[in-house]
Amino acid sequence: QVQLVESGGGLVQAGGSLRLSCASSGRTFSSDTMGWFRQAPGKERQFVALISRTVGSTAYADSVKGRFTISRDSAKNTVYLQMNTLKPEDTAVYYCAATRRMISAAERDYYSWGQGTQVTVSS
């Protein structure tokens, strides 16, 4: 079973930046498409971004396009989420997850999840 551990969350002012990291313990990292999701208080978890296995194609939720960038380092088995121009509405617990699908924004397709890291953006 792949274990995912997120880090890098914290408190930041609106307009600031954070970089989240997600380290994978599995030997299947290169075979997994990696996604980031987030869940704000009282709301359902939602897709944020993904980076595909093999070719590294990326996809983003409309709400973060142009502000967030997902990347992966196969040598470190780590996926990153660079978040710029943060807004108060970005406040949420951020989760990374792994799927064997090439491209999917659906939670049900992800087989392993991290414990989450809190991001709080103050106005």
Whether the Cβ atoms of residue 80 and residue 19 lie closer than 8 Å to each other: yes
Average pLDDT over all residues of the chain: 96
- Kindly state the tokens that stand for 79: 């996926």
Q: What is the pLDDT of residue 11?
A: 98
Closest CA to 61 of 15, 8, 105: 105
Q: How far apart, in whole angstroms, are the C-alpha atoms of residue 74 and residue 120?
A: 29
- Cβ–Cβ < 8 Å for 61, 36: no
Residues 47-104 pLDDT 10s: 999 999 988 999 999 999 999 999 999 999 999 999 999 999 999 999 999 999 999 9
SS3 32: coil
